[in-house]
Amino acid sequence: MKNVEVLAQSFNPKTGIPTSNPRVEIINTRSNVVFKDCKTLTDIAEMYMQFWNRFPTTQSELVLVQSIKWVPQ
């Protein structure tokens, strides 16, 4: 397993004001199909933001990754 800790927060895309507190999520990159092709932390951060920010509706929030790191096994 390759686990990654992502710290992300959502913001109002028009004002930049936070709409939530930062949130930590642990992602297993081997079992989560969204991240199956990711090789680097940058790949994972970009895929995380793409997943949350590319809904086919008008976005009321913009999710940004604040930090990302490998979690020791």
Query: What pLDDT, in 10s, does the model give residues 5-64?
Result: 999 999 998 999 999 999 999 999 989 999 999 999 999 999 999 999 987 667 789 999
Rg (C-alpha) for the chain, rounded Å, is 13
Whole-angstrom CA distances from 35 to 51, 64, 72 are 10, 17, 18
Amino acid identity, residue 69?
Answer: K
pLDDT reading at 1 higher than 60:
no
**How high is the pLDDT of residue 6?**
98
**How high is the pLDDT of residue 59?**
77
